[in-house]
Structure 1
């Protein structure tokens, strides 16, 4: 089963819309030629495709300015740069300041892998107003994602069934069922996306970004990567160190870990976030509605999940809230402290036999909208991860590791351990045990770690700094909660990031914001 905890919650704004309602193409087109000379045809943005998550075209920016979209041609196979091409979907908002102050384009990747930058950048565009004074804000759907030759696997009905399965098997029969269902999903990806599957590695996306830099007219790539976007940024710096401009990596993926080590780190990270949530709820002056002590909050959640394994409760008709969906929904709410209120209300509701809120949170993690349509978030996430990662874990591997995962997190350990079988029988061999991000000769890169981050634990920021190499990574620590730092709106973090990106002021190494 695809491991949804590895997805960055790029759909957080969609979740908020859904909850408020409750609580109140691939294609070769000719040959490559000289792709660096292509001219982008910027036009008003269409409504997002189903693979991007659907919805309405992006609204104008609050202080004026329209979002514009274009398609960049890139080689399908970077080993054959003059062969068949695919389209890479781009979006931009032009710089709001005077032309004389413009630095260039600032390219964003919001993570996943599998998240659509074309839909995510407008959702958070107002948060980057200060950066827009001197940059065109640009993002894109990486290859295999959204409008950029999307990986397609199963139908919406099949995905509903896929996400209802028991992802924490208790006996041999259930384990065989989980592995076989994973093989079925992966076989559908191969059948429906055979052409693109061998070409969605992170190294391919990094080469697309360097082509993008040239087509946008920039001598250097100015970059803002979040979550998996930090891995993509590190790989870009490794491949093109002399082309790195001002770059920020926020919510840092540890580039030294194997997939197993990464999953174990996430088990610890999500457990820490759950502990912090329980502590926050029970430490307030008003009564915590889901438990009187931190331990009681966690015990009641564990009991809920155990009960749901035996007997699911009504979720969003006709689906029921299963143990898997509830675990997924709880994890989604831990990506942002702003969502702790939804988690509290969702748990209250579930204890009364109604699983709607937790299921909405789970749907958001899985890329499902209110109409029952799935983006290709999970398909792309699986394809990119399985193309990048060499290990192919078996049920025997998981069984051996379960005690360690359970010690790291009684609540999330099993779920994350069994997620390691996601690449069983994947059609394309994995590239490496972990990415190479060594970047000697690169310009300084600002690396931000959040001490309370569940999805990319804080320790990864130091590992990234060390791996980038001497004189490249500049570490900044944010003592906060949630996934990422800049979007927390912490003034210290934003001042450091804005100072570097706008004025080239590198913060002192090991700066701490709280």
Structure 2
């Protein structure tokens, strides 16, 4: 995988939709030059299209209600609001409770960036049933994603080859190939999506959020952001502090880091999660099948990856499990403690020469479904990150940084360090070193950090609270594993989140949920 989509802000829920399948659209509305005057035409949702990951239309809700979809028209360029428009795909489940107690719409962003909210929300809709008693649950495909003017780069066959490439070069020839493949991927994005590449920044998506708020009829934006969705929510709060209603940030991105610092922080987070996995395996009552001690588990994983670098093993179909694919699969499995059993199974099989499970995990990470079709998750992820992030890193720079990354994680160090070249020669300049989320005057925002989170390390929650400003961020700590807290079904977390979103009860700052 020459330039892996940056895991720094990936969301568990986005890839878990695919993982559940691997391992076991919307109507048009009339265009109006004045976008704030449009009315949405809600219809039964179609099956997701290829850019959203494919699959079946969402099943009815437990009470028989159907999910509804619509298309919101937004300016392609927010600096030219009367210019060209793009369609943003929306999905909703109407509130199930007493209409007189309805608060409004609760808008979700599940992260990525690049994840389709239109497919993710119904996949996890039951998790938010309590919130639906007083809110319409709403999500969307952000611009550049899914049905919303998707960024397109390589086709499915090209992506199969792309993700088989060596993303951790060991010599000059491999480094040249990595950079050449990066340039080819980025050039394909420009050739196929030039129109939209300069308009997929998080600031653009934040303005889209405010348009949604207005069209949905809410005075304030009630919002649930997960992973990258916390960055989007923070940028919204900065741009529109007076319009923030009840908001929750879960699996929090550190808004103070540039892309290098974010990559290094995530390297630490994934190593921490792998340490926890190894300790958990050997602490079980039965013998751990992949190592005699936590260190032995990690030593054997490192040896497997080294061996795969020169001798891949059979994976899925004609594709082999390479070092890079195995690393992607291991990273994917660390997003949730529920996935640890797949990691154990995948490692057992790989040690016996069968790479199928680890490759299916990697496919989930990369947005590939069981039919061999890719969503545009990877393309959108790179496009949004490169439009947001100002730094551009050279081969020489990454070479100098490798010892630091390796000292943090011998498993993930090279993988995430070389991922920093993703934006080399990108067609659009990055906007800033890091997002501005200062939000003086905003309503309280509940900020939840998970101590075992690999993708958005726990320390980022405190950084977000500080950056939002005094009296805005309210920090809550969940002592758990995996990416995010609300999805763990921890009763303490649910009580705090539901109490705030449903009843307006702000938890005590510094609350700890064991």
**Coarse TM-score class (shorter-chain normalised):** over 0.9
What 5-or-longer segments of structure 2 have no aligned partner? Answer: none
Deviation (angstroms), 1:464: 0.2
Corresponding residue of 1:429: 429
Q: Is the 8 A contact 2:346 2:357 kept in 1?
A: yes
Corresponding residue of 1:69: 69
Please say if 1:12 is aligned against 2:16.
yes
Task: Within 5 Å, give how 1:225-374 maps onto structure 2.
Answer: 225-374=225-374
Deviation (angstroms), 1:63: 3.1
User: How far apart, in 2, do the equivalents of 1:199 and 1:94 lie?
Assistant: 30
Deviations 1:61-101 (A, max 9, x none): 12332100000000000000011100000000000001001
Please say if 1:379 is aligned against 2:365.
no
Deviation (angstroms), 1:4: 4.4
Please say if 1:411 is aligned against 2:414.
no
Query: 3-state DSSP class of the match of 2:217?
Result: coil
Deviation (angstroms), 1:8: 1.6
Query: 3-state DSSP class of the match of 1:193?
Result: helix
User: How far apart, in 1, do the equivalents of 2:109 and 2:496 lie?
Assistant: 19
User: How far apart, in 1, do the equivalents of 2:259 and 2:236 lie?
Assistant: 20
Corresponding residue of 1:472: 472
Query: 3-state DSSP class of the match of 1:142?
Result: coil
Deviation (angstroms), 1:34: 1.4
Deviation (angstroms), 1:278: 0.3
Q: Is the 8 A contact 1:151 1:383 kept in 2?
A: yes
User: How far apart, in 1, do the equivalents of 2:310 and 2:188 lie?
Assistant: 30
Corresponding residue of 1:187: 187
User: How far apart, in 2, do the equivalents of 1:29 and 1:81 lie?
Assistant: 18
Deviation (angstroms), 1:32: 5.3
Q: Is the 8 A contact 2:367 2:375 kept in 1?
A: yes
Cα gap change, 1:17 to 1:31, in 2 (>3 Å): closer
User: How far apart, in 2, do the equivalents of 1:394 and 1:404 lie?
Assistant: 16
User: How far apart, in 2, do the equivalents of 1:430 and 1:14 lie?
Assistant: 30
User: How far apart, in 2, do the equivalents of 1:66 and 1:11 lie?
Assistant: 24
RMSD between aligned residues: 1.3
Corresponding residue of 1:39: 39
User: How far apart, in 1, do the equivalents of 2:512 and 2:64 lie?
Assistant: 35
Deviations 1:243-301 (A, max 9, x none): 00000000000000010000000000000000000000000111111011000100110
Deviations 1:306-364 (A, max 9, x none): 01001000000100000000000000000000000000000001111000000000000
Runs (4+) of structure 1 exceeding 6 A deviation are 28-31
Corresponding residue of 2:169: 169
What 5-or-longer segments of structure 1 have no aligned partner? Answer: none
Deviation (angstroms), 1:17: 2.3
Cα gap change, 1:484 to 1:440, in 2 (>3 Å): same
Deviation (angstroms), 1:173: 1.2
User: How far apart, in 1, do the equivalents of 2:287 and 2:221 lie?
Assistant: 50
Corresponding residue of 1:3: 5
Deviation (angstroms), 1:41: 0.4
Q: Is the 8 A contact 1:437 1:467 kept in 2?
A: yes
Deviations 1:15-54 (A, max 9, x none): 122111xxxx99x999752111111000000000000000
User: How far apart, in 2, do the equivalents of 1:15 and 1:34 lie?
Assistant: 41
Q: Is the 8 A contact 2:52 2:116 kept in 1?
A: yes
Query: 3-state DSSP class of the match of 1:194?
Result: helix
Deviation (angstroms), 1:13: 3.1
Q: Is the 8 A contact 1:31 1:83 kept in 2?
A: no
